[in-house]
Structure 1
């Protein structure tokens, strides 16, 4: 059993980098367990409900949320945990450190029988994602990163993991070579298309869920723009991983994103994940 992070390690409810480092492995284990539970749910006999925003929620979302929620209560009982499935319990503004969870990102992909759905878990400190873990259980992959200490990709099989491989974003494509842009299969919009269109010859890589952040972090995709509103739990883990891998996540003007702020209502108006920070500048 993992040892809880006690108050001495929290520094007044702010998790520092050393404490976050100790959390990487037990949090990775939680993401793997949640992913295994999703895979164990039958998609044939699935209960599907609609949320107020019209998006679906399933048995798989709820079982993954329960595993992560219970695990975080044991590991860091003094740190708030905000989940997509329990956001109604959240305060309007969060200070210090808190967890952001999307127990099943890409529910539409999951319901369509595709493999590109993820479990997203982020640790946010002072409004900025510090640690992120994205698990893609049907792909057998984990991406994780701790800002200032690098990012990794792991393979998974059931509850076991393979060797962790260091990953890094790639630089701006050389003159004459096309940009590779990650685009959503389910959430296209005109502003994002126009943004990509300003990069002549850009190749679109159509992907689902937070897998797009993983591909930017590992250097197979150059840029992932979404110039339309999305939720903080959709992008916080990816923000940390891309940043840890050497990239940058900002708004369309290059300004930093802040999470858990009083005016945000957990909505991010727009963002661009850049593999090369120089491109954002």
Structure 2
């Protein structure tokens, strides 16, 4: 499964970068007022076709196909073909391709590819998370390094927060911690920064959907981290109504978590 996810993510990344590097591209607005580009749509078509061919009996849920949002199953594949569309539009580079496999509410396999950053993260056949070194070839896997979360220093935590969705509530919560460094990042890269030990905690007090988080969540799980609900600190589960997430906290074990 990881080989198919990896190849499709890389192919989608090529399509996305071709549009990203063009002189101009159209931006449309969806019914929920969020932006969508030709890159979102082209990547979605490519990934969906590949996944349906490889896994015809598994439910496929994708951000760009609203008809898939009403279907439910315990086991499914969930895709955000271009997470961080605002980063893409503003040419800031922090956008990712996300493909995840969910079993019984838990994302167990995932790939996060940031083509403009040339970073590729995924879970391997053992469920461990790795970062592959580029340049990337679709037909040949490059050197892989197993990644693992940090051992946090609660007197000097490394925090990562959203670049496009930062608000006062998030800042108020972060201020409950002793912070030595604060990073801003777009898209699902925030999960991956915790997975590699580049950050310790990522609180999200805002609306997200499961396709935004599942692949990054899988990568973080495979690196020894966790994602919990903000309200009661129970594990974040998948397959919820309309695939909508509550507020959550992604973190490395050892962080002295605060209540909101």
The question of a shared fold, defined as TM-score above 0.5 by the shorter chain, is answered with: yes
Q: How does 1:119-198 map to 2 (within 5 A)?
A: 119-145=97-123, 149-157=127-135, 159-160=137-138, 161-173=141-153, 176=155, 178-198=156-176
Distance 2:16 2:8 in 1: 12
- 2:59 and 2:73 in contact (8 A); partners too: no
* Aligned pair partner of 2:61 in 82, 96, 113: 82
The runs of 5 or more residues in structure 2 that have no matched partner are none
Q: How does 1:193-204 map to 2 (within 5 A)?
A: 193-204=171-182
Per-residue deviation, 1:148: 6.2
- 1:130 and 1:147 in contact (8 A); partners too: no
Residue in structure 2 matched with residue 108 of structure 1 by the alignment: 86
Deviations 1:229-281 (A, max 9, x none): 211100011111111100111112320122123xx221112111111266459
- 1:147 and 1:241 in contact (8 A); partners too: no
- 2:122 and 2:219 in contact (8 A); partners too: yes
The yes-or-no answer on 1:69 pairing with 2:18 is no
Q: How does 1:203-242 map to 2 (within 5 A)?
A: 203-242=181-220
Distance 1:75 1:199 in 2: 45
Distance 1:148 1:45 in 2: 42
Per-residue deviation, 1:139: 1.0
The yes-or-no answer on 1:254 pairing with 2:210 is no
- 1:98 and 1:123 in contact (8 A); partners too: yes
* Aligned pair partner of 2:13 in 5, 11, 35: 35
- 1:248 and 1:277 in contact (8 A); partners too: no
Residue in structure 2 matched with residue 8 of structure 1 by the alignment: none
Deviations 1:2-51 (A, max 9, x none): xxxxxxxxxxxxxxxxxxxxx11121111011011101114423121101
- 1:30 and 1:68 in contact (8 A); partners too: yes
Residue in structure 1 matched with residue 253 of structure 2 by the alignment: 276
- 1:48 and 1:58 in contact (8 A); partners too: yes
Deviations 1:72-97 (A, max 9, x none): 011100111111100333335x2231
Aligned-pair RMSD on alpha carbons? 1.9
Per-residue deviation, 1:107: 0.7
The runs of 5 or more residues in structure 1 that have no matched partner are 1-22
TM-score normalised according to structure 2 size: 0.91
DSSP-derived class of the 1:90 partner: helix
- Residues 1:146 and 1:195: Cα distance change in structure 2 (over 3 Å): farther
Residue in structure 2 matched with residue 16 of structure 1 by the alignment: none
- Give the number of aligned pairs: 254
Distance 1:277 1:148 in 2: 24
